[in-house]
Amino acid sequence: MSYREKFAWLCLVAMLIAYTPYFVHAHLNPPPEGTLPDLSHMARFGLTAAAHAIMVLIGLAYLRFAARGEGPLKPDERDRAIDRRSMQVGYWLLMIGLVVVGVISPFTESGWTLVNGALFFLVLSETARSLVAVWSYRRGWHG
């Protein structure tokens, strides 16, 4: 498994571990409407983002340590092709999220629903990007 494939796995796993509990909790216990900012909810999001960052940083440090002596870690043409494909998928999901949260939802929703909706689409697009990268490394790339 190449360094870049391992990194794609790291991003995918860290994103799922960090943000799944946050969104499940936000869905089951939605913050009361009209309480923006809600400090406890903001703190929960802050902890989630920090946990995600720490997981990625530790994982990255480990991957770099494990890859020492493997030569330069520059992406080659296959890495770039996979990156282009996964970025495209992430971009389209982000655009869909922008339309849903920024254009449609404000007519019916407000407050934390919009904030969490925007965060959800950010996380979803990044997760999809990593998922497509992992899939492309595993199953092959013929584009």
Site of interaction with other proteins (CB under 8 A):
1-2, 5, 71, 76-79, 81, 139-142
CB 18 within 8 A of CB 52: yes
Residue 55 vs 73, nearer CB to other proteins: 73
Residue 1 vs 39, nearer CB to other proteins: 1
- Shortest distance, position 77 Cβ to other proteins, whole Å: 5
CA 84, distance to chain mean position in Å, is 16
Residue 34 vs 72, nearer CB to other proteins: 72
- Shortest distance, position 10 Cβ to other proteins, whole Å: 16
CB neighbour burial string for 47-74, b if at least 16 within 10 angstroms, e if fewer? ebeebbeebbeebeeebeeeeeeeeeee
- Shortest distance, position 7 Cβ to other proteins, whole Å: 13
- Shortest distance, position 125 Cβ to other proteins, whole Å: 25
Tell me which amino acid residue 41 is. H
Non-local (6+) Cβ contacts of 135 within 8 A are: none
Residue 39 vs 74, nearer CB to other proteins: 74
